Amino acid sequence: MTDRTRLTAPALAPAPGAAPLPVVLAGARGHGRWHLANLRRLQHQGRVRLAGICELEPLTTDELAAFGLQGGDRPEQSADFGALLDSTGARAAVICTPIPTHTDLALAAASRGVHLLLEKPPAASRAAYARMADGVRRAGTACQVGFQSFGSHAVPAIQDLVRTGAIGTLTGIGAAGAWVRDDAYFRRAPWSGRRRIGSTDVVDGVLTNPLAHAVATALELADRGTAEDVLSVETELFRAHDIEADDTSCVRITTTGGLPVTVAATLCAERAGEPYVIVHGDRGRITFWYKQDRVLVQRAGHGPEETVHGRTDLLENLVDHLERGTPLLVPPERTGAFMRVVEAVRTAPEPVALPADAWETRYDAPGGGARRTVHGIDGLVAAGAESLALFSELGAAWARSSEVAAS
């Protein structure tokens, strides 16, 4: 029987006498709605004040009311991010806008001394990422990249288990993500499912955006988060949907210490599953369901041990950093290895369209929408995380070794 325990840690109280931090949210629709709700939660706690919302089209009265924003409680709105920062006196900004805009908006904030929570991926290319990171560093502003899984208290707990030899010698890290997305998902915005728009990089693929957490979390658990930690990256990029980017892909990163980190992911799952990371050792393994903060330890001489951990919110951590010097959980340098993967995907050959007999259309998406599912992909994704092998090495008929790109 699995021993299941919930582990939590108390949240820090506001620093004595600290005024709420004025924050501007850039991008309040789509995933931005999550940030808007989180800002309201922290505003009720007296940690922040939602000073402004930057959207091309202002939020309507009904949209604002849905978050309890009424009358004098309503933040200032503008489509001009820089002007909004100036007029509100914001000290921090949450950027949840299309991927190609991240660098320029981050630099606009940094130039005004405004601290950042920047959604993942931090940039669409390694060059844009370097420009952003250099600009933030020169400005002396704090920047937190939005990999929420890094706030899970399970991450340091797993790293401690590995360091103390609980599962023996580390042999590799595998990650699997099997998600369901309908056709409408790829029409949600002009940049959805695009590799580029004109000469502008977008790189909205399964590994670099929707399941980017699987890649970044696997690298973090390997303790290989910086760009210098990566020796090589192999990619296999495929698509079942009629899009530019990849929706079914795998990647194998080899670290400078020779450790393989393999991630297999799809948006065309037969059944939606919780993404997870497996830390493989020669005397056991640790499985981490990072959206649930759930950890399962299986090792020689012990029964299975399951724990559920608490989580520190990244915006809360940024506020704590500014108030009392608490270290940031996800500074840009901790995402350098992830950006090596983004760059490998960006520069890889165009994703291969899967043959028509490899997938089917189903009409069981929420609301009755159509979606495409790849035959057998759920098992294939799981096998990739288990064996640290690429699709072509697992015998998928549509994946041939000649389609592996290395960088």
Averaged over 15-19, what is the pLDDT? Answer: 74
> pLDDT by residue (tens digit) across 109-152?
999 999 999 999 999 999 999 999 999 999 999 999 999 999 99
10-14, 29-33, 83-87, 348-352: the lowest-pLDDT one: 10-14
When pLDDT is cut at 50, 70 and 90, the band that residue 11 belongs to is low
10-14, 30-34, 144-148, 320-324: the lowest-pLDDT one: 10-14
Whether residue 258 is predicted with pLDDT greater than 50 in this model: the reply is yes
When pLDDT is cut at 50, 70 and 90, the band that residue 405 belongs to is confident
Residue 13 is predicted with a pLDDT of 66
Whether residue 379 is predicted with pLDDT greater than 60 in this model: the reply is yes
Domain borders along the chain are 3-148, 153-310+338-406
For residue 224, what are its two tokens?
A: 């290989």
> pLDDT by residue (tens digit) across 298-323?
999 999 999 999 999 999 999 999 99
Whether residue 2 is predicted with pLDDT greater than 60 in this model: the reply is no
Domain 153-310+338-406 annotated CATH 3.40.50.300: no
When pLDDT is cut at 50, 70 and 90, the band that residue 1 belongs to is very low
Residue 327 is predicted with a pLDDT of 98
The domains spanning 3-148 and 153-310+338-406 adopt the same CATH topology? no
The C-alpha atoms of residue 28 and residue 51 are separated, in whole angstroms, by 13
Residue 403 is predicted with a pLDDT of 62
Residue 400 is predicted with a pLDDT of 78
Averaged over 74-84, what is the pLDDT? Answer: 97
Residue 292 is predicted with a pLDDT of 98
> pLDDT by residue (tens digit) across 180-198?
999 999 999 999 999 999 9
Domain 3-148 annotated CATH 3.40.50.720: yes
48-54 vs 115-118, strand pairing mode: unpaired
